[in-house]
Homo-oligomer: A and B are copies of this chain.
Amino acid sequence: MSLNEQIAFLLHADKLKNVVRKNKLVSGERNENSAEHSWHVSLQAVVLAGHAPENLKLDTVLKMLTIHDIIEIQAGDHWVTEENETDVATLEAAAAEETFSLLPDNQAAEFKALWAEFEAGDSPEAKFANAMDALHPMLQVFGPNASGFCHQPLSADFLRRKKAPRLAPYPDLWAYAQSLLDAAVRNGYLMP
């Protein structure tokens, strides 16, 4: 029965609350988990939607951000680099296939398509969702009065190159993100 499959998926998704991310809470007291991140990045999208072009389908953005990390229950949270990017993509695609197949068939197909759209990052909604996902940990770590804690030594230059493809399409958000990197260098949280 369809409802039973939906419930089974929802109970499986509970495990996202135990997937620990690399970044800390703003206070620095502990690492964030991926369920908390998924909520906070959705809130960020609601708050910052006015910085995206008009006619953005916000319901699609919020659906994407709500489901985008569920695959981490199986695939884990990865710090993606040029070296591991193909392996991580393969791992995550397999996890998406398996995880969303818990849902009734029509919904499984819808969620897989939505996740693939987010990963491809081509539609206006996927672009904005990706920009939100790229900005969120920068706020958490380098925002006003945040901890500045990086899980490994990083440079502002490296992060500028990593984040630009997803954030530069939103000039005011990208300018703000770069001002955070500049401040992080001044505060000694990042190498130049």
Residues of chain A touching chain B, judged by Cβ–Cβ distance below 8 Å, are 3, 6-11, 13-18, 25-27, 32-33, 35-36, 38-40, 42-44, 46-48, 50-51, 57-59, 62-63, 66-67, 70, 103, 107, 139-140, 143-146, 172-173, 176
> Bound state CA distance, A18 and B24, in angstroms?
13
Chain copies in the assembled complex = 2
Q: A10 contacts B44, CB within 8 Å?
A: yes
Q: Assess whether A13 is in contact with B42, with CB atoms less than 8 Å apart.
A: no
Tell me, rounded to whole Å, the shortest Cβ–Cβ distance linking A107 to chain B: 7
Q: Which residues of B contact A107 (CB under 8 A)?
A: 47, 50
A188 to chain B, nearest CB (A): 20
A42 and B14 in contact, given A59-B58, A144-B7, A176-B3 (Cβ under 8 angstroms):
no
From known contacts A3-B172, A40-B35, infer whether A10 and B139 are also in contact, taking CB-CB under 8 Å. Answer: yes
Contact indicator A11/B43 (Cβ below 8 Å): no
CB of A139 to closest CB in B, whole Å: 6
A10, A15, A63 — most chain B CB neighbours (10 Å): A10
Interface contact A42-B66, CB-CB below 8 Å: yes
19 contacts between A and B (CB under 8 A): A3-B172, A6-B47, A6-B48, A10-B40, A10-B44, A10-B47, A14-B26, A14-B27, A15-B27, A35-B36, A39-B66, A43-B67, A43-B70, A47-B103, A50-B107, A57-B59, A58-B59, A59-B62, A62-B63
- Enumerate chain B residues within 8 angstroms of A59, measured Cβ to Cβ: 57-59, 62
